[in-house]
Amino acid sequence: YIEMPDDLTGRLEGRSSIGRLGVVVHSTAANIECGFRGRIVLELANMGRIPVKLYPGMRICSISFETLTSPAEVPYYKKKSAKYVNQKNP
């Protein structure tokens, strides 16, 4: 579970070591919006020809954060279109 401040945004990226095995960590949802509150869902897919074992604690992705110069006017949790506020499950 993560609670993003209103002045911080994030981006999820797969690690190259796992990508070279054919594993995609996210298909479309790489951005973590200011004000997001909930669980980050990984959209894992094996695009390779061989099975890949993933283990608890294995480093498969990273998140980079960027601070805005001012808080978002409408953070994610205040958007009427926000579908995933406080999500606990995928």
How many domains does the chain fold into? 1
pTM: 0.78
Q: Please state, in angstroms and rounded to a whole number, the distance separating the CA atoms of residues 71 and 90.
A: 27
Beta strands in the chain (DSSP E): 2-3, 8-14, 23-24, 31-32, 37-38, 45-46, 61-67
Q: How many CB atoms lie within 10 A of CB 36?
A: 23
19: containing domain: 2-78
pLDDT digits over 30-57, tens only? 899 999 999 888 889 999 999 999 999 9
83 domain residue, yes or no: no
The verdict on whether 43 is a catalytic residue reads yes
Q: Does some domain include residue 89? A: no
The catalytic position among 3, 13, 43, 66 is 43
Q: Is 87 inside a domain boundary?
A: no
24 assigned to some structural domain: yes
CATH code (residue 62): 2.70.40.10
* Tens-digit pLDDT profile for residues 79-89: 888 887 777 77
